[in-house]
Structure 1
Amino acid sequence: MTGLYEKGADSALDELTDAFGKLRSRGQGHLEVDLPDGLFPYVTLSFRADHAVVHLFTDEETVSLLVGDGTVPRDVAVDVPVMDEPAIFAGLFVMTVDKAWSVVRGFVRTRSFAELGEWAAL
């Protein structure tokens, strides 16, 4: 997990941007982002090519997916790597990598997920 350590948000965001850039240059990846004051909440960004999915973990038992941006039809399946394993998601939860990265940056900056979009509990 890429924690936002006590270095400050700007430094942590720079570090996170570097990690994301390396994954993006490979065309796929999985990134986990938590906050310095605890394990929860945290978000993950998983992507392959230009398709991405964002998970939200609010506690040990509660996981949600961010509703996608309409890039992919709701009923089309898309596969992205979660951790190191392929996972398939309905288009309802798929967005562009740029949109997903914007959500992650918003989470880091605001330390909140409430205003980042519509979340669907799993």
Structure 2
Amino acid sequence: MVVEEVAGVDIAWSATSPLSGRFVPMEQSGVAGLIERFEELRTQERGYLEVRGDAAFPVLTLGFTGSAAVIHLMTDEEAAFLLAAEPPAGAGAEVLVLDDPVEFTADVVLDLERAWQVVDGFVRTGVPGRAGEWREL
């Protein structure tokens, strides 16, 4: 699960602190730091991160617990979407969103590997639309 550094694509990210287990909204920059933080959280089997390009939107979020993950996309202050699972997971799951566990139905629960591929694609291109079907909230 490696995201290669991509020339010309600047990202900003914030994530759960591996030490406190709480979301820290202070933005960081750089793909290497994002990968390192994700790997730390993956080891702890729980985390939440937000990633955006050099504009305020879109923002892509990844929340996960164990191998279950959910991806949100915010295209502006009022529009939010969930990435549909294809195929749907066998059951719903509770994943971390900001600091709280939230229950999601099987139709939006992704495998963590698949979810990270979506983040990888977003980091590489700044375009979240190619990831699959987005369901408006």
TM norm structure 1:
0.86
Q: Number of residue pairs matched?
A: 113
User: Which residues in structure 2 correspond to 1:70-109 (within 5 Å)?
Assistant: 70=87, 72-73=89-90, 76-109=91-124
Which of 20, 23, 41 is the matching residue for 2:38? 20
Q: How far apart, CA to CA, are the structure 2 residues paired with 1:14 and 1:61?
A: 30
DSSP-derived class of the 1:39 partner = coil
CA 1:4–1:34 in 2, change beyond 3 Å: closer, same or farther? farther
1:67 equivalent to 2:93? Answer no
1:57 equivalent to 2:74? Answer yes
TM norm structure 2:
0.77
Q: Is the 8 A contact 2:89 2:106 kept in 1?
A: yes
Q: How far apart, CA to CA, are the structure 2 residues paired with 1:67 and 1:99?
A: 12
Residue 69 of structure 1: CA displacement?
3.1
| One-letter amino acid matched to 1:95 | L
Tell me what 1:8 maps to. none
| One-letter amino acid matched to 1:55 | H
Q: How far apart, CA to CA, are the structure 1 residues paired with 2:130 and 2:88?
A: 20
Q: How far apart, CA to CA, are the structure 2 residues paired with 1:71 and 1:26?
A: 25
- Work out the percentage of aligned pairs sharing the same amino acid: 37
Structure 1 unaligned residues grouped into runs of 5+:
6-11
DSSP-derived class of the 2:87 partner = coil
Q: Is the 8 A contact 2:92 2:109 kept in 1?
A: no
